[in-house]
Structure 1
């Protein structure tokens, strides 16, 4: 049977790797905290239109691509850990700027324009952080035979942030402490943690182009990118309808089950099984939310969502890595990140811009996107991947 599993090496989990993984968790949480709290404030206190809110949430996805072409030149020209620290500092300043806009400004037209700028900068800075942290620094701190496991484990920390970030933001929103300031504080802690890890100096390669696709985007993975984008588009639309800490807490439960399922239920399963099972679980969750009103649905459906996202996300990451050629691992991981993040951003844009006043229609659109992604994967993408994989 054509299977693909990630081994476990205890030696991977040394102090520096733990710090890098926790840094990834904290910086991603700081960005994801804005998913529920920023739209609530913009729609309520700021009085912005649903189209304005959708645009502010969506432009983050455009920012993700702005600095990627310079990533390889930056890490070759300067110390790679320092470039990552600069990018985290820019994330911190962007989040702090959002807090200042919320705290100090009253004019809606000025709030809107500043938030657009800050969200684009946030996307650009966070995209660069992920391209260097997940695609370079974590690989540098791992032995060659542990790198797939390192990418897999680090990605799970970032995935946990999709539940922990919004949940923490909602909890802070119920207190007198600003969740936007808390998100900036998390980014600052991530900066301080990364600053404690030492990386040896590496001589830069000669003739490095200022703009290139290295460490940025892998063209050979375009169909995997599109398929992942559509799945995350569906999830992003769903998240535009959810504002309770309980929902995101139960998503975390689903993530925990997904981790166990990877090690036991899917250990010898066919490659296609995780994506198929994950898609069915998310579709079942959407159908329950659409058609049932019982209280138990509020607990079961987000567990299914977390379980589905966890299974799909971890399998797609391995697909991207296995599709890459020698020395393209970092580029493959960056491409996976771009598909994940831009899909979520596009989903938030669509959810708020078009469906903010009709949750039923938003959930229906989410289900339609998921069905489209599932059909593309089963009919085309999986067979294409089997033909093209290099590892």
Structure 2
């Protein structure tokens, strides 16, 4: 019998709808990302430090709620929780637009992060619930493309709208897209959660302790990516490279290309090997990024060639790492711990990103340039790679649950 006939369906109505809603949520967020600092300067005439603090409150809010997000997703009906936190996420765009006091804007920014943290945990969990266990790695890979597409197109669209039509149009488009996303979530045919006796509270209801090695490894990966999100344009300027926006487009391209093929290999038993390859490739990518200035002195294309090659390599490596670590966390959890598994996975990323941005900023100020920042990222990723190869992969094979 044909193998494709025997495979359980992947592109179900639930999965496609959830992926589309997830894309709209992330796109609305990403198109605001480059515009919000300009909007704050324009409307409130504030300084760089104040604007930076307000913008960072989003990450702080998301990080603060992650452990509780997993608990809520595993304890409450997932569809209503997803809908109402997505609804509150949408209202925050109205708050940016309407409020005229900077302290109130700071509160809205923090709450935006809280609702983002809960709604994205719910979205990931609802999507995974819709996947057959035998094709989970493939499905997680495809689901992640919804975020990668938003990352690739959102900031560019936001800047285009801002420069051509102003900040009001950016907010209006974000709100409209979120409303479409809410309609999609409302149509999700998710079965009501069965009422069960409340289990006693324990740490495992807020944090998946069996996934501590994966959590720690993912912090290192996020730590290295934090400086890329905030400082790559400044680093490109130091190197005399123009068009740094293409750096992010190439990361997205690498992510999408690898996610399409990685999931099937994960489901065929290549999970730990693919993540190991991704971790090692990530070290090499950041090493190339760190020394692209020196390489540019001996290459005909100058530093731009290794600079942009490193971006594609970073995206390719993350295309192996992202679905791999998420699949590991889910496979280490019971069925009723999937929300906790997803929040644990996402918390590692949030902590890594936040600490990478803070440490990177301090290092850049101390050294006066950004090369040392990315060298620190190489060291962090090398430590994580050794940890993964020597312990994390073995821990996964020893503790994974079958048929969950």
Give the TM-score, by structure 2 length: 0.78
1:85 CA displacement: 0.6
1:201 CA displacement: 2.1
Q: In the alignment, which of 270, 287, 292 is matched to residue 288 of structure 1? A: 292
Provide the C-alpha distance between the structure 2 equivalents of 1:382 and 1:58, rounded to a whole number of angstroms.
33
Structure 2 counterpart SS, 1:251: helix
1:127 CA displacement: 0.9
Q: In the alignment, which of 279, 282, 305 is matched to residue 278 of structure 1? A: 282
Provide the C-alpha distance between the structure 2 equivalents of 1:327 and 1:388, rounded to a whole number of angstroms.
21
Provide the C-alpha distance between the structure 2 equivalents of 1:196 and 1:60, rounded to a whole number of angstroms.
28
Residues 1:232 and 1:159: Cα distance change in structure 2 (over 3 Å): farther
Question: Cα RMSD over matched residues?
Answer: 3.5
1:238-273 deviations in whole A, cap 9, x for unaligned? 221356643332222222332366379998693421
1:86 CA displacement: 0.5
Q: What is aligned with 1:5?
A: none
1:343 aligns with 2:352: yes
Provide the C-alpha distance between the structure 1 equivalents of 2:24 and 2:294, rounded to a whole number of angstroms.
33
Q: What is aligned with 1:30?
A: 28
Unpaired runs of 5+ residues, structure 1, are 1-7
Q: What is aligned with 1:3?
A: none
Provide the C-alpha distance between the structure 1 equivalents of 2:215 and 2:259, rounded to a whole number of angstroms.
23
Provide the C-alpha distance between the structure 2 equivalents of 1:215 and 1:156, rounded to a whole number of angstroms.
28
1:97 aligns with 2:95: yes
1:8-57 deviations in whole A, cap 9, x for unaligned? 95711123211111111221222233432223444566443333233223
Matches within 5 A, 1:192-203: 192-203=183-194
Provide the C-alpha distance between the structure 1 equivalents of 2:133 and 2:82, rounded to a whole number of angstroms.
22
Residues 1:127 and 1:225: Cα distance change in structure 2 (over 3 Å): same
Structure 1 counterpart SS, 2:131: coil
Q: What is aligned with 2:254?
A: 254
Provide the C-alpha distance between the structure 2 equivalents of 1:270 and 1:84, rounded to a whole number of angstroms.
34
Asked whether the equivalents of residues 278 and 309 of structure 1 are also in contact (C-alpha less than 8 Å), the reply is yes
Equivalent pairs, count: 372
Q: In the alignment, which of 168, 176, 185 is matched to residue 176 of structure 2? A: 185
Matches within 5 A, 1:344-359: 344-349=353-358, 354=362
Q: What is aligned with 1:315?
A: 324
Provide the C-alpha distance between the structure 2 equivalents of 1:242 and 1:327, rounded to a whole number of angstroms.
40
Unpaired runs of 5+ residues, structure 2, are 1-5, 234-243, 297-301
Residues 1:153 and 1:359: Cα distance change in structure 2 (over 3 Å): farther
Q: What is aligned with 2:237?
A: none
1:295 CA displacement: 4.9
Q: What is aligned with 2:210?
A: 220
1:295-354 deviations in whole A, cap 9, x for unaligned? 545643432332232232233223323444564343222211222234334444555x64
Provide the C-alpha distance between the structure 1 equivalents of 2:152 and 2:124, rounded to a whole number of angstroms.
19
1:163 CA displacement: 2.8
Q: Which has the larger radius of gyration?
A: 2
1:84 CA displacement: 0.7
Structure 1 counterpart SS, 2:164: coil
Residues 1:35 and 1:279: Cα distance change in structure 2 (over 3 Å): farther
Structure 1 counterpart SS, 2:9: helix
1:99-128 deviations in whole A, cap 9, x for unaligned? 334xxx3xxxx42x2332122111111111
Write 1 or 2 for the structure with the bigger share of helix: 2
1:153 CA displacement: 2.7
